[in-house]
Amino acid sequence: MAGYEVSIESLPRCGFLDLRGGEAVREKCCAYLDITLPTVANTLVSTADDRLVHCISSDHWLLQLPGGLETEVLEGLELAVADISHSFVDVSDLYERVQLSGSEAREVLVQGISLDLHPRAFPVGSSARTGFAKTTVQLVCLDNSPTFVLTVFSSYLQYVLDWLNIAAAKTP
């Protein structure tokens, strides 16, 4: 058996900010970032300058941005909402990203995930925080090839890479 037709790679590090707050915080963050923070869980918003917002819940977002910008953005956000109760944390060291792509990427993922990954149920642009292979990931479908990005806890990066390689039958 030759294995599934997929490519698995660890992506370069980037910045992550965990943002929590009510509607007033959301509005001020939207204005400062010039991006809409969605209020529907599992919604993903992307920008032309490589920022992504993963909506975890109506008052909780994970902002992904190019590495090196997290301190500047965090300080600006803190100033923008200084008078409102909120929680903003730089969690860049907490996460790593793995990209899984190829015509059989869904077949590999379904071995360790309980989400319906059919394109009608999890189309391009979908994002979900879910259990995967006995850990937790933020899963995003980037395109129709399909390409998925799994944002994993840093300490589980090697485990997830190994698990995907075994599931893809790329190791004996």
- Domain boundaries along the sequence of the chain: 7-11+94-167, 15-93
| Residue 171 confidence (pLDDT) | 54
Condensed to tens digits (0 to 9), the pLDDT of residues 59-83 reads: 999 999 998 999 999 999 999 999 9
Short-list 139, 137, 106, 104, CA closest to 125: 139
User: pLDDT tier at 170 (50, 70, 90 boundaries)?
Assistant: low
Q: Which element (helix H / strand E) includes 110?
A: none
Provide the 8-state DSSP code for 73.
H
Provide the 8-state DSSP code for 54.
E
Condensed to tens digits (0 to 9), the pLDDT of residues 95-150 reads: 999 999 999 999 999 999 999 999 999 999 999 999 999 999 999 999 999 999 99
The CA distance from 4 to 24, in Å, is 47
Give the architecture-level CATH label for domain 7-11+94-167: 2-Layer Sandwich (3.30)
Residues forming beta bridges with residue 8, ordered by sequence position: 100
Give the tokens for residue 20. Answer: 């929590």
User: pLDDT tier at 172 (50, 70, 90 boundaries)?
Assistant: low
Is 15-93 assigned to CATH 3.40.50.2300? no
| C-alpha gyration radius of the chain | 17
The CA distance from 152 to 16, in Å, is 12
